[in-house]
Amino acid sequence: MHLINKMDIVLPPDSKLYRAFQQIIRQRRIVFFAGLPGVGKSLLLKQLGLMAHKAGRVVDSLQWDVTRAAFETDEILARYPELDGVTHAAIRKAVGLWARQGIAQWQREYPDLQQHMLIGEVPLIGNRLIELGQKQDDEAEGVLNSMETLFVIPVPSKEIRQVIEAARSRSIAQPRHEREAADAAPNVLQMLWHDVYHLAHRLGIVGEIADGPIPYTPDVYSEIFQYLLQHRHYEVLPIDTALSVSGSAYDLDIINRELAATPNEVKQIMTDIKQQYTEAQLKQDVAQWYRI
């Protein structure tokens, strides 16, 4: 019996997903998986990274959790603390502003399409790297709007979403990787899904919302992320099959470099935010994060 190694490519070579990833690796330079926690982004990123590495690409990464951590110093958290597992608005805004700068700098450092590849995860909801979907007049816009950059929207079926959420609960209780302990808890997953559904109501995608828990609806989920990425090249990726894996989705030793802000960059971004926004303006800007 073949035991699946934590660094194996587990996508069947004859599957649509494997063939889609092969095409992405041939044609794209930057790939971001967009979506909520608990839809399989980390596992898909791992599989794409392994396949890209096998194809001879040098793989770098940009991930919300890693980039955010650079801004969560004791000094910054004392001023902008986390509340009920939710990152403070100032830090969410800072991470997004830096990410555009980081991507532009990465493009300058590695202009060769055939060698380096940048892959990452962008939650978008609630101002978590939503700046990467917004049109802005800066150096990063040309990179983000290029045909070489693709945003992938994984949309799990209801059944697969339940499988992923159950696996998430187990990994938080018994983490196999240090980053799993910091994953969004089930109550945060439900809160974020409610945010998606309420945004769908605000945009007229769904009707009135009844009281009580809101069941996950793949079509609504897909529509919202397509709306948020209307200024970008994107593909919707339906997920209706559970992948057999061992180890953690975060086990990815082939990553060449994880993009994150330096201490000086963090200090400058936080200073800029303090100078450009009053507390009320920042709160309003982040609350209206979906206005792209």
Give the pLDDT confidence of 65-92 residue by residue, as tens digits: 889 999 999 999 999 998 877 889 999 9
Per-residue model confidence as pLDDT tens digits over 162-201: 888 777 766 565 665 565 555 556 677 788 899 999 999 9
Q: Classify residue 292: in a domain, yes or no.
A: no
Q: Is residue 1 part of a domain?
A: no
- Number of separate domains in the chain: 1
Q: Give the pLDDT confidence score for residue 241 in this predicted structure.
A: 85
Q: What is the pLDDT of residue 269?
A: 97
Full residue range of the structural domain in which residue 63 is found: 24-245+252-284
Give the domain CATH number at 186: 3.40.50
Alpha-carbon 170 to chain mean position: 21
In a domain, 2, yes or no: no
Is the pTM of the predicted complex or chain greater than 0.85?
Answer: yes
Say which DSSP state 118 is in: E
The verdict on residue 4 lying in a domain is: no
Note whether residue 235 is domain-resident: yes
In a domain, 289, yes or no: no
Structural tokens at position 36: 């909520």
Residue 75 falls inside a structural domain: yes
The answer to whether residue 275 sits within a structural domain is yes
